[in-house]
Structure 1
Amino acid sequence: MIVRRGGEADMAALAGLRDIGEGGLAAFAGWVAAHAETHLPFVAEVDGQVIGAAWLLVAERVPGGAATSRWYGDIQSVMVREGHRNRGVGAALMAAILDEARARGLEHVTVHSGRRAVDFYLRNGFGQHRQMLIWEPGE
């Protein structure tokens, strides 16, 4: 298995992992190109076939005090094809993303997890944080 940054050649596979069909591929590729500086795709492949992907959102926080540059990351859209789950693919994607976060000097990395994936993130170095709060609009 190889884990690497995703690129233009991976658009169809990345779209497929997000359940975006052929009709939406051009719009998806346009979105990826427009967000290339902030949304970094990582792919896992076996024998040249993409079997999983995860995205790192890189964003800047408002400067404060002596810190004029405050960057953080958020993990988004982690997907592994069903036949390849529970084989370390997700962990390899997380390792690559967290290596990128370290290389960029990000202050922290967050993830908004579904209930079933919480243990996965805990095993991969994430912890629950008492100061992280969320607001969701009411109906």
Structure 2
Amino acid sequence: MADVAALAELRGIDGDQLEPFAAWMAARAETYLPFAAEIDGRVVGAAWLLVAERVPGNGSPERWYGDVQSVMVREEHRGRGIGGALMAAILAEARKRGLLHVTVHSGRRAVDFYLRNGFSHHRQLLLWEPDAS
């Protein structure tokens, strides 16, 4: 439960929301993989890899991909390579699992970080959002 609490705290989840978060993690343990960075036993950063399957095709019955989500390093620990280490761990896991590709939905401030860590812009990735009406 300590790992859950540390991951929840990084996401701003506490109090009566901790138990539902723990249940969410347990129910998705095969598809949402948390990666944590610790210094002196304290979680100072975390990132998640969603592992999902695409529809079979192109002669391949299994087509798995990943999506990086919720990358966060505590402000006082930024600029020390922790985010890069988290990304290296995630991408190593992606390689180990043979994922077709890994995507990330980034805020403007983090685009350069992802570019430095092996991601690139892709002309075929499109986004649909519902009308805000």
TM-score by length of 1: 0.93
Q: Structure with the greater relative contact order (CA < 8 A, sep ≥ 6): 1 or 2?
A: 1
- Give me the whole-angstrom Cα distance separating, in 2, the residues matched to 1:65 and 1:52: 38
**Which consecutive residues of structure 2, in runs of 5 or more, have no partner in the other structure?**
none
Question: How many percent identity over aligned positions?
Answer: 72
After TM superposition, the structure 1 = structure 2 runs for residues 1-139 of structure 1, keeping only pairs within 5 Å, are: 8-139=1-132
Give the equivalent residue in structure 2 for 1:3. none
- Give me the whole-angstrom Cα distance separating, in 2, the residues matched to 1:67 and 1:33: 30
Instruction: Give the C-alpha shift of residue 69 in structure 1.
Output: 0.5
Give the aligned residue type for 2:22.
A
User: Once superposed, which parts of structure 1, at least 4 consecutive aligned residues long, lie more than 4 Å away?
Assistant: none
Give the aligned residue type for 1:40.
L
- Give me the whole-angstrom Cα distance separating, in 1, the residues matched to 2:21 and 2:126: 30
- Give me the whole-angstrom Cα distance separating, in 2, the residues matched to 1:98 and 1:9: 25
Give the aligned residue type for 1:128.
H
Query: How many correspondences in the alignment?
Result: 132
- Give me the whole-angstrom Cα distance separating, in 2, the residues matched to 1:98 and 1:67: 22
Cα-Cα RMSD: 0.7
Give the equivalent residue in structure 2 for 1:5. none
